[in-house]
Amino acid sequence: MENFDPDRIVLRNAHFIGGHYVEGGAATLDTRRPSDGVSCGGLPVAGPDIVDQAVQDAWRAFKTSGWASRAPRERARVLRRWADLVEADLATLAPLEAVSSTRPLRDASAWDVPFTAEGIRFFAEWADKAGGAVAATGTGHLGMTITEPYGVIGAIIPWNFPLVTTSWKIAPALAAGNAVVVKPSEMTPYSTLRLAELAIEAGLPKGLFNVVQGDGRTTGAALCRHPRIAKVTFTGSTATGAAIMTACAENGTKPVTLELGGKSPQVVFADVPDLDRTARTVARAITLNAGQVCNAGSRLIVQRAIGERIIDRLSAIFSELRPGTTWDPDATLAPIISLPQMERIHGIVQRTVAQGGAIVTGGRAFEAGPGGAYYRPTILTGVQSRMDAVQREIFGPVITVQLFDDEEEALALADHPEYGLAAGVHTADIGCALRMARSIEAGTVWINRYGRTSDFVIPTGGYKRSGFGKDLGRDAYEACLRVKSVLIDISKGE
Ligand code: NAD
């Protein structure tokens, strides 16, 4: 990393269709490196014509390559080879991810790339393990269910963990026999191309994994509307999820999987045995990727008796974080994806202060960034549930603090009127932890930890306006299949 030169990383401004790079588009976008704001060149925007080309190609590959009708174990073998190639490609993929997103090179190497490979392997293993069932429905009848792929699945991806989120959508879809057309975020469009290249190199028939570049309004919308897209799987904001659901409803009543935004609470009881450890967990849950994580623990709800102590510890941890480019080996705080996004974060902080909240630490950008946008980890106290910073997903390193006296009050504060993505509960009392876990309306609850490591078998997904459907786990694999019922008369004809 010492002599790392970001300018040597090749960023392809192209689509990937039928196993080849394809140029051209309705317009170009000025995509920039988040770390230093340097332009990546013009990203082509696929209009309806290029989207059509990609979807038709995927459809043709689905119909003619025999991928869906292959023995599932053969599909699994290709996916496993793909995972091996991803791992072996670390020296290319990790720098590509780091330069073009907010993921530090160190983390991309140690986590994003290996985690992507392991996720692909996880779904490869499902290929021949989840299928239909046979049931006797009376002596004269036999019934069975057969699972079948949808055909072409459209996948729309956010910018915060490009490789990982793409693999969570694509690997189960391909393992189940589908073709995919992926639209990465226009802010992080590059590593997905390499992922597609490696899939073809691993033996995936060309055309089964196509990538179209562009913004949501033009490219994403055209993908959702395309009549050959049988299903859309989306990760991103709640507002975009609603637009996608509408487009899918109006253009073929297509099913959707929506992994959306969150405003997740971290509830800390006074009996935690090691306050330092809990404080480090709480801090990491809001500073990882500078808080640009869907399940960031952005609302600290702490029992009054330890409120001040945990705020002090959080302030100390925050003050040690050092901003820097994703390739700076000494940096411990990632850049914000863009300047407008940082202005949005700052606007929410300022409005909350105007509403009566108080800044303990942070509350502004770092003065001299290296060209990118870097925001100080921020603690807001004196907040009420109605205030902006408590209500709205900030997607930055900003945590609000609310105090409670008893379990009922903790539960009332933890509940968010709209979001229900994740929650954390920290306590030594297992009964209390499990009561909270049962009562909090969220798709994931962590007890005495926060965040996902290698728990592929445990699905992830939201409650309420945080979405529906799951990524990971058996659920994600089965969501890529349709169920057909076949009913047979086996009577002697009497
Ligand atoms: P976003 O909703 O702005 O964009 C996500 C993707 O949707 C991008 O590729 C974008 O181009 C596309 N898009 C935008 N408008 C569209 C439209 N009308 N039709 C089709 N596609 C459209 O989200 P973002 O800013 O890229 O990512 C941050 C958001 O993603 C946060 O809200 C975060 O919580 C959420 N997220 C959720 C999860 C989860 O698992 N629940 C994981 C990661 C991120």
Question: pLDDT tens for residues 424-446?
Answer: 999 999 999 999 999 999 999 99
Distance 316 CA to ligand 1 centre (A): 33
Q: Which residues line ligand 1 (CB under 6 A)?
A: 156-160, 165, 183, 185-186, 215-217, 220-221, 224, 235-237, 240, 243-244, 259-262, 294, 393, 395, 421, 462, 467
Q: Taking the model in full, what pTM does it have?
A: 0.96
Q: Which of 23, 259, 308, 478 is catalytic?
A: 259
Specify whether 259 is catalytic.
yes
Q: How confident is the model at residue 371 (pLDDT cuts 50, 70, 90)?
A: confident
Q: Which amino acid is at 225?
A: R
Distance 158 CA to ligand 1 centre (A): 4
**60 alpha carbon, distance to own chain's centre:** 29
Q: How confident is the model at residue 303 (pLDDT cuts 50, 70, 90)?
A: very high
Distance 218 CA to ligand 1 centre (A): 14
The ipTM (two decimal places) reads 0.95
- What's the mean pLDDT when you consider all of the chain? 96
Contact between residue 432 and residue 411 where contact means Cβ atoms under 8 Å apart = no
355-359 long-range contacts, CB within 8 A, separation 24+ = 355/384, 355/387, 355/388, 356/382, 356/383, 356/384, 356/387, 357/381, 357/382, 357/383, 357/387, 357/389, 357/400, 358/382
Q: What H or E segment, with its residue span, contains residue 352?
A: helix 339-354
What does the pLDDT read at residue 1?
A: 62
Question: 52: which DSSP letter?
Answer: H
For the segment 235-277, what is each residue's pLDDT rounded down to a tens digit? Answer: 999 999 999 999 999 999 999 999 999 999 999 999 999 999 9
Question: 109: which DSSP letter?
Answer: I
Q: How far is CA 448 from CA 343, 433, 473, in A?
A: 33, 9, 22
